[in-house]
């Protein structure tokens, strides 16, 4: 089964949205394989956002991502990278569709509530960046047979 990395950003933590965001992933039927609170620093953010370090908004993004602890989640499911990106909505929350996390909870490009991996390859790298191996749990929730057909579809 595929895995993805989600961060509930300071914009989600400070606005007391942690429970509501996690509840959406749980009710969708995604398996929580890892979950923790952590304070990010410049080193990990320069790696995580290496594609953006030369952008003029990068210093502001750094400050925003270090403004409070974040919640890191490793979620599992069929095509979970694509599913969670769809649940997140487009980057600019003011343009994200209603029904998406960014669309329902945000108004900003920068303060857009969550991060979600954008490809299975990046998800693998990002999960390793934020979690030690022993913090990822391989278990089968008892509801699994009501989430998927016997052949996993
Ligand atoms: N970001 C921003 N201004 C921009 C583009 C991006 O502040 O013009 C921030 C925003 O918080 C976004 C993060 O940088 O979530 C990473 O950007 P990316 O293009 O990877 O978007 P995402 O994958 O998060 O939708
Ligand atoms: Mg991205």
pLDDT digits (tens, 9 = 90+) for 135-146: 999 999 999 999
Please tell me the distance from the alpha carbon of residue 139 to that of residue 79, in angstroms, as a whole number.
18
Q: Is 61 in the pocket of ligand 1 (CB under 6 A)?
A: yes
Q: Is 91 in the pocket of ligand 1 (CB under 6 A)?
A: yes
Please tell me the distance from the alpha carbon of residue 22 to that of residue 32, in angstroms, as a whole number.
9
Nearest residue by C-alpha to atom 25 in ligand 1: 91
Please tell me the distance from the alpha carbon of residue 62 to that of residue 53, in angstroms, as a whole number.
9
pLDDT at 110: 98
At 95-143, the pLDDT tens digits run 999 999 999 999 999 999 999 999 999 999 999 999 999 999 999 999 9
In angstroms, what is the span from residue 122 Cα to ligand 2's centroid? Answer: 9
Nearest residue by C-alpha to atom 16 in ligand 1: 49
The answer to whether the predicted template modeling score (pTM) of the entire model surpasses 0.75 is yes
Please tell me the distance from the alpha carbon of residue 137 to that of residue 59, in angstroms, as a whole number.
35
Hey, which residues are catalytic here?
Answer: 115
Q: H or E element: which one contains 105? A: helix 101-105
Nearest residue by C-alpha to atom 21 in ligand 1: 91
Given phi > 0 = left and psi -120 to 50 = alpha, else beta, which region is 134? alpha
């Amino acid at each position: 089964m595929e895995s993805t990395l989600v961060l509930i950003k300071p914009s989600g933590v400070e606005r007391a949205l942690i429970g509501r965001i996690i509840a959406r992933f749980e009710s969708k039927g995604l398996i929580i394989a890892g979950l923790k609170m952590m304070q990010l620093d410049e080193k990990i953010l320069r790696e995580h956002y290496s594609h953006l370090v030369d952008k003029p908004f990068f210093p502001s993004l750094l400050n925003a991502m270090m403004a409070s602890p974040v919640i890191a989640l490793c979620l599992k499911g069929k095509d979970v990278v694509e599913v969670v990106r769809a649940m997140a909505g487009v980057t600019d929350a003011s343009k994200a569709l209603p029904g998406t996390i960014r669309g329902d909870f945000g108004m900003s490009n920068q303060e857009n509530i969550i991060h979600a991996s954008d490809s299975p390859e990046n998800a693998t790298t990002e999960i390793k960046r934020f979690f030690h191996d022993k913090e990822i749990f391989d278990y089968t929730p008892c509801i699994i047979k009501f989430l998927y057909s016997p052949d996993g579809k």
